[in-house]
Chain A
């Protein structure tokens, strides 16, 4: 019991600083640079290229040249423009779907914290969604809606719900038993106030990491759905659709796959590195 009285460390205890400290490591900065570069390239697509990503040209499967820095695809479309616009489509989809899924999952977890029966119900909902792993969920949703942009959005959001929800639920369960939460209750705070003001801020740390992981999962889901022909409808470019087109020509025209593969990998790797950096920052 005496060991509890360790010397007080005069550290600034701001949680934000811990995230920042995590991000400002080599790992975190590399991740930020990767994601930043790819995202910037996508955002600046209209400035960087004047070419219409869907315009077909006479030159099919050409290698890189001055006119087409990344070459052209099997229909003679400019790959540089397609990849840049593909990044925009991907990021728009993922950055809208992941927050929606995260919000839904977290809301359910908070709901579950209220009553025992709500907890049971919410847990069964999470179980149910998890019982349709990734692509199977994609197949089920596409079976109803047909291929397109919305199914991709829905699948990504749905897949994230139980991941965020379970994470937050277990965090709340742990934090709620801590003495400071008890102290807040004894001090007269309502159940709602204890949950939102005391428990929640201490339970969100793992969610920040989860968010970075979720973004990379989003990139994968989009790609896999495009590969199976369940994704965003052609001719609109996405990283996944360009990649899946290029797969047929990997042996003969490896440059076709290079740019979309590099962009996808950079995004996923970047998000993964950011997640790891945040995780280490939190644990410190």
Chain B
């Protein structure tokens, strides 16, 4: 493990960013808090923070200041070092990671230099953290009450067990868990994803920390739930005066919660300032590029310019039903879905988790049989001949470009698989076609003999698209094809899909939760809720004049980039 010294330019850059951030913060704080008199004290001061991972530098000279009760956002794409920065604040870096330079001062005390026991006494009590994945971040075998109790007793504030239980109820109440007292004895798996994130926040708040670091707190959640959690964070910031540091890849999330913003790239801060300034007048080219790549809900659909749908439907779904489980405890995933997909058309299918969108996708590619209703392809019903043509002509692009590629096969083998399965061409013809397909999706054909691990996320998604294109399909089902990708990569993949539609006349069923993306790519949009299509219509009309209240609710939950509600700076108080 070598302590890598930051390049000389980093130090000057840091000095510049720190200088830029501080006066802005002070000015804004004074403006937002006219009655406060003296400027609020700085609770967290990070100077020239550098983190090394086995020789490579993940965070390179980051510096910022956070006033008591203030809100700060860290935004960046994957690999920008934003999450590592968050973990370094509590010195909780994963194995191999080490703070190699700089300081993290909490009220003047340098956390980077503190011995472990002293640091433990501060974690959760002075500075706390909320993590990304609420599914895995709560202990599955301990009750929620036990976990809150553990957090409370860790700092010995409440020696009496009943007192701690009462405080636990209070905390669950604060984060909005209904029937808090009754749910202390439940295990995490009994709560929904959003509720688990609320519990995570309760854990972090248990000891009245002054600084709450939230690392991608809503990334794993649905838009409507995301909105609730962000509102909760804002409410807590206002009510208790807990200073917030929110880390996110999503500028909209930051715009909604944070007064100030740091943009990170390659471990460095490229720009910082108040959210309003940065979003209104970005200075750094990278910030501008990042802002430009974010899909906006206001952008009208570009699908019509791309292709004109044919008159006769290619794929027709009528009254599709799917139930899971035993007869006694049946779960209805699809409850009578009607859809039409025309040649050359992109139909956007919007829905949150549990709406049945993945079930629908899987029924269309015949991974499982529906419980009722009919699917027709080119006029022929599945089960009466239609399924055979559809098996080759309807292909699926997956959400997760990491798990959907066989790690043991090379890119070339992966793309060739459908060719072999459908008996298309001999070995030489297949090799030629694979090269052609890789070229078509914008990959170097020479990389065919590399394994998926050697590709980036966006490149992997291209391999997945090439695989889907291999048997020359007429319909492409894209199940959240860009939601696992960075915004800049997202834009490239969307461009690729549009180009493919133009060149090949593909019909695309574009399944996603992000309405802005869906509007941009779709001719029409269908909204799926509780296993039913609640609304279908031209893409622009559905977004601008929703007919169903659920569609309106979805639209309201989309984080906007206009930083209208700047959270006020509040003085600290205990709950």
Contacts and interface: CB of A to CB of B under 8 A. Distances in A.
Q: Do A and B come into direct contact in the complex, CB within 8 Å? A: yes
Nearest to A188: B421
B467 interface: yes
A187 B471 contact: yes
Interface in A135-184: 178-184
Contact of B471 (A3, A180, A188): A188
Nearest to B396: A186
Contacts of A12: 451, 454
A184 B409 CA distance: 12
Contact of B78 (A6, A9, A183): A6
B482 to A, nearest CB: 10
Nearest to B221: A1
Contacts of B220: 1
A179 B404 contact: yes
A66 interface: no
Interface string A1-41: 11111111111111100000000000000000000000000
Interface residues of B, number: 51
A68 interface: no
Contacts of B289: none
A187 B454 CA distance: 23
A2 B422 contact: no
B402 A7 contact: no
A48 B525 CA distance: 82
A189 interface: yes
Interface string A83-109: 000000000000000000000000000
Nearest to B410: A13
B467 A2 contact: no
Contacts of B362: 182
Of A180, A183, A186, A190, chain B has the most CB atoms within 10 Å of the CB of A186
Contact of B467 (A7, A182, A183): A183
Nearest to A184: B417
Interface stretch (B86-94, B170-178, B433-441, B484-492): B484-492
A193 B458 CA distance: 28
Contacts of A178: 403
B454 A2 contact: no
Given A5-B78, A179-B404, A202-B408, A186 B365 contact: yes
Interface in A63-121: none
Interface in B418-475: 418, 420-422, 451-459, 464, 467, 470-471
Contacts of B467: 183, 187
A183 B79 contact: no
Given A2-B249, A3-B132, A189-B421, A15 B454 contact: no
Given A186-B395, A201-B408, A193 B421 contact: yes
Nearest to B133: A3
Contacts of B365: 186
A189 B418 CA distance: 7
Contacts of B234: none
Nearest to B56: A7
14 contacts: A2-B249, A2-B484, A180-B403, A180-B405, A182-B367, A183-B467, A184-B421, A186-B365, A187-B418, A189-B420, A197-B417, A198-B406, A201-B408, A202-B406
Given A4-B401, A8-B454, A182-B367, 4 more contacts: A8-B457, A8-B459, A187-B418, A189-B420
Which 6 A-B pairs have CB atoms at the shortest separation, nearest pair first? A13-B451, A5-B457, A187-B418, A188-B421, A179-B404, A2-B249
